[in-house]
Amino acid sequence: MAEILKIALPQIAPIWMHKEAGLGKVNDQIDQAAVEGANLIVFGEGCVPGYPFWLEGTGGAKFDDLMQKEIHAYYQQQAVCIEDGDLSSVCATLKRHQMAAYIGIIERPTSRTGFSLYCSYVYINPNGEIGSVHRKLMPTHEERLVWSIGDGHGLRTHKLGDFTLGGLNCWENWMPLARTALYGQGENLHIACWPGNVRNTIDTTPFMAKEGRSYAVGISCIMRREDVPMDMPYSKEIKATMPNMPADGGSCIAAPDGSWVLEPLVGVEGLRYACLDFNMVRMERQNFDPMGHYSRPDVLPLNLDQTRQTGMNIKS
């Protein structure tokens, strides 16, 4: 495991807007990956309970609109509350299989009143322990109508064998300083999670691999019109304005030289695997190490604030 890491890429359609069923599907994927001997499994952005695909088509920016309020309330109800133990079953499954994971969730933290939502990427180690919860620094465009702005607390890396893992949400992977914050903590396996479209992964994944001289993973979900459940509020209205496939996947892996390990998978669900050889990282760092011998901290230092933001500090 130290030199060779087997990674599982489940490109799945989330059980949209259903937390318990979605977590059940995540557990099923972990069980399947365990049979194949995977050491690490990674899931797409907002995999549980799903990405807010209704916003663009249903007038998500309308102020004080009953439809938007009711859909948002339902989304809020289905969001993941870590403090309430919502990830306990996933942690237990990973511990049983001695497997690590990155899982994209819509988080509803009690420390921020229990009502505000965050697009979070959660790392869980092979002992079933949550290592970090990274809240997306800046929701993109219409996402700001439902997700809150995150902080740097989860900008952390994690050791898994010889590899050092880091993960970012969606367009954060286009933020040079966010990537650099992980490079500076020794990252050599970068996980870029997306709600799911090959247009986002096909160019950025090889680029990030070459820039970081690391393995780069683009992991996406897919979404189809038929995945909108009939038992949620305004399902007919959402389906009427939704494209046939608003998210077509594109999950892939690039090696540290930018070559494909797994080319993008488009339009279908699938659970794929790859064995990553750590020695490729060593070889590509010979001539370029972005926060090592090719950095200039005297000219271009980066300051990282990992404080978890909170609305109130209590002293007693």
**Per-residue model confidence as pLDDT tens digits over 112-124:** 999 999 999 999 9
The answer on pLDDT for 2 being more than 70 is no
pLDDT (tens digit per residue) in 47-79: 999 999 999 999 999 999 999 999 999 999 999
The residue from 91, 136, 187, 221 that is catalytic is: 136
Third-level CATH fold of 4-284? Nitrilase/N-carbamoyl-D-aminoacid amidohydrolase (3.60.110)
Annotated active-site residue 170? The verdict is yes
Catalytic site residue from 19, 25, 45, 252: 45
Dmax (CA) for the chain in angstroms is 58
**Which alpha helices (DSSP H) does 137-291 contain, by range?**
176-183, 198-212, 235-241, 279-284
Please give the pLDDT value at position 287: 96
> Considering Cα of 70, then 73, then 195, then 99, what sign does the dihedral take?
negative
Q: List the domain boundaries for the chain.
A: 4-284
Structure tokens at 136: 């997306």
State what percent of residues in the chain have pLDDT above 70. Answer: 99
Cβ-contact 43, 26 below 8 angstroms:
yes
Positive/negative CA dihedral, 255, 257, 263, 266: positive
> Average pLDDT, stretch 189-217?
97
pLDDT for res 311: 84
For residue 206, give the 3-state DSSP assignment: helix
User: Considering only CA atoms, which of 20, 23, 132, 19 is closest in space to residue 79?
Assistant: 19
Q: What is the DSSP string of 252-288?
A: EEE-TTS-EEEEEEESS-EEEEEEEETHHHHHHTTT-
pLDDT tens string 262-302 = 999 999 999 999 999 999 999 999 999 999 999 999 999 99
Query: Is position 95 annotated as part of the catalytic site?
Result: no
Confidence of residue 314 (pLDDT cuts 50, 70, 90): confident
In the structure, what pLDDT confidence band is assigned to residue 211 with cuts at 50, 70 and 90?
very high
Q: What is the 3-state secondary structure (H, E, C) of 75-112?
A: HHHHCECHHHCCCHHHHHHHHHHCCEEEEEEEECCHHH
d(CA 154, CA 165): 12
* Catalytic pick among 47, 119, 170, 221: 170
Confidence of residue 100 (pLDDT cuts 50, 70, 90): very high
For 296, residues 6+ apart whose C-beta sits below 8 A from its C-beta are none
> How large a percentage of the chain has pLDDT more than 90?
97
Tokens of 312: 């109130």
Known active-site residue 263: no
